[in-house]
Amino acid sequence: MHADRIVTQVEPREGQECAVAKWKTGACRPVHGARENLKRVSRKMEKEKTKILAVAGKGGVGKTSIAATIVRILVEAYPDKKILAIDADPAVGLSTALGIEVETTIDDIRRAVVAAAEEGDKKSAIELLGEARYRIFDALVETDGFSFIAIGRPEAAGCYCKINTYLKEVISILSENFDYVVIDGEAGIEQINRRVMEKVTHLLLITDASRKGTQVVQTIRRVADELVMYEKLGLIANRLPSLETGKLLEMGDLPVLACIPADGTLAEFDLKGENVFYLPTDAAIVQGTAEALQKMGLIP
């Protein structure tokens, strides 16, 4: 019998509320009322579970613009919720799309801790790790409606292994403090393949009309089916020459959530470095992204 096990009293003593007193014993079984209370708590916890949405696809398909638009739509739909945007693409484009100035990145923190260890810092490895976890919150940029953090660039060209491992830990630590997390992933399948995104709840794949774009998202889907514990998955066909083009794409059984035509307004915004919060509500990317989020059950 486990002395520290918390269960609910079977029969209340005189003057006590039924089925709510907690005993430190394993000998009692919850009564019906308590069991229903536990079910309600469980349902509430499930309902309030952090929703982690990752955006993935090959480079050049508008992935970052859609990730930024998702953040905008969630901020507008849920002004009372805590929303986090993570720029997990070393190309570092999400900050510009959201109008954020970045001073410290995740990789800055990681490299500072590694340098301290290599220089013979007297702190133990455990203390340094704890410090790194704490400093993650220092890298958060707080703005109206959402928070932001960037992965930064790796320490060597083409070397993403160490920072991706750290990013996985960052996602785990930070997600507990937010209602919605939007991750703009790096182009291709590397972060999926390394299980960086393994606890994502919603995986949104982005392609354009190219054969390469559709092949990449199908590959990501196959890998994600094995390595990612996602709850919902869908695809946005973006930057299409026309909406009719979307009907010609060979996507197999991938659910197509929205088709978005090429948008000259967005292209102009990108050239000027303006953020998506200034896009008109009837812009094709805003309308299409909202349609996709509705079909995934993320907004009403």
Question: What band does 212 get if pLDDT is binned at 50, 70 and 90?
Answer: very high
Average pLDDT taken over every residue of the chain: 78
Contacts of 124 (CB under 8 A, 6+ apart): none
164 compared with 188, residue with greater pLDDT: 188
Strands (E), 151-262: 180-185, 202-207, 232-240, 256-261
Question: What band does 235 get if pLDDT is binned at 50, 70 and 90?
Answer: very high
pLDDT, one tens digit per residue, over 3-31 is 433 333 333 434 433 333 332 334 334 44
Q: Nearest-CA neighbor of 300 among 54, 46, 74, 69?
A: 74
pLDDT, one tens digit per residue, over 63-81 is 999 999 999 999 999 999 9
pLDDT of residue 7: 34
Tokens describing residue 123: 């702190």
Amino acid identity of residue 32, one-letter, is H
Question: What band does 291 get if pLDDT is binned at 50, 70 and 90?
Answer: very high
pLDDT of residue 188: 78
Alpha carbon of residue 254 to chain centroid: 20
pLDDT of residue 123: 66
Alpha-carbon distance 111 to 108, whole Å? 5
Q: Which helix (H) or strand (E) holds 184?
A: strand 180-185
